[in-house]
Chain A
Amino acid sequence: MSGVIALERGDRAVEIERLTVHRGGRPVLHEVSASLDPGLLTGLFGPSGSGKSTLIRAIAGVQAHVEGRIAVFGKTPGSAAARRQIGYKTQATSIYEDLTVAENLRYFASLHGAQVGDLLVRVGLEGEAGRLVRNLSGGQQARVSLAAALVGGPRLLLLDEPTVGLDPLLRRELWLLFGEIARGGRAALMVSSHVLDEARHCDQLLLMREGRILAQCTPSELVRQTGTEDMDEAFVRLIEGA
């Protein structure tokens, strides 16, 4: 907890200044600064091991050994006030495999004092409510996990690799859903992925490598700056130019 001080209240959803995180004595994030705004879908991109999950965990308030400043709607991450505002999907499925889909969502909703509502329809699982999670496919489990992060209509949604391993059609549908939640629901979204091609769905990009932010920009700025439409190539040129 030491060193994590809430900044002044503002309109920003998340404000991060010079965030450094050590794991096992080694720094895994180096002086990261970034911000998230309501209504924007922010994509967090970078190869695996670049520190994406650590950054998301620090914002969610579950990462130890954090130095620097993070504010979530002006509050300290992990505080009771911040926890009422966020939805978080870990890289693991993190739902109860020995409960049905509906039972999982009802439990997570009740912790927020909320109703499940039409969440199953939004993630395309309306026919699976009564099935045990352990009997679902990997893609279906990922969508239950996503729905569990959406309960209570959080103002900040942190999704760690929600599209990994899913079929391309479903991935596109989910990115459209993320955009709709951000722009329609005025929520701030941070979605991590290592598939750079998915960057075109985002309003804002955070590109990470080896625990540092290479760039915080829009997809069109990235194209302009690097002179290529190919996101993989853009990333390579960014590294070479850095």
Chain B
Amino acid sequence: MTASRTLTTARRVLTQLRHDPRTIALLLLVPCMLETLLWLMFKHQPGTFDAIGASLLALFPLTTVFLVTSVALLRERTTGTLERLMTTPLGRFELIAGYAVSFGLLATLQAGLASALTLGPLGLTVQGPAALVVVLAVCVALLGMGLGLSASAFARTEFQVVQFFPVVIIPQLLLCGLLIPRHELPAGLHAISDAMPLSYAVDGMHHLTREASVTRWFWIDTAIVLAFALGALLAGAVTLRRRTE
């Protein structure tokens, strides 16, 4: 694996995004708008805003990067560019790393902007270091990328690939502690939520908002999210075959 082929791929992916300013604006501004909406809804219940606002900061990178990756990789597969890349010296792990670098940067920018607004003007209370909100968001973005990479292998059109969103993301959203605290879930559902990576991302955000010192639990939750992310990226790598039918 060489750094130069990875970085040149990352630059190519970012250049493609740069030619699409509308998508960039949506990616960066929609999280800010949704946090503001939430703030208006719970203006008189700051405790609720703290809990849900923090969970959303974990949810944004998952949804955005999942959608962007699944569509981008589907296009690589269907327009023949992936087949061409497979005949060049570029290795599939270099390709994945290139995407990870560019979408990681995108997630950093998105989380930086959303948390600056949420923790600043909107006054979400975070006891721990704010920078760790961004660190966790980048880990969640890698998770979204791995899931999106795998989803792109099971779709033939962009219509199909966005249908994986309700399959892969919404169950995690329902069970991650956003609607009901996880310990209040029925036993069976609690076990299922234990098997879902977004649960750990949301738990991690809650450790940051509630505890002044960075606890061991925060790092354990972050490590679990990262492990799921690596697993999803490896599963996605398996779907990037050099030889196809």
Point out residues on A near B: beta carbons under 8 Å.
Answer: 1, 23-24, 57, 60-66, 78, 80, 83-84, 86, 88-100, 103, 107-108, 110-113, 132, 148-149
Contacts and interface: CB of A to CB of B under 8 A. Distances in A.
Nearest to A95: B81
B45 interface: no
A63 B241 CA distance: 10
Given A80-B89, A99-B16, A112-B88, A61 B81 contact: no
Contacts of B91: 80
B37 to A, nearest CB: 31
A64 B244 contact: yes
B84 A61 contact: no
B89 A112 contact: yes
Given A60-B87, A86-B87, A94-B80, 12 more contacts: A23-B245, A63-B243, A63-B244, A64-B244, A78-B242, A83-B89, A96-B81, A108-B84, A111-B8, A111-B85, A112-B88, A113-B89
Interface residues of B, number: 27
Contacts of B5: 110-111
Contacts of B19: 98-100, 132
A110 B8 contact: yes
A62 B83 CA distance: 7
9 contacts: A57-B83, A64-B245, A84-B89, A93-B79, A98-B16, A98-B20, A99-B16, A108-B84, A108-B88
B123 to A, nearest CB: 39
Contact of B12 (A86, A94, A96, A113): A96
Please give me the 6 A-B residue pairs with the lowest Cβ-Cβ distance, nearest first. A94-B80, A92-B80, A64-B243, A110-B8, A88-B87, A90-B80
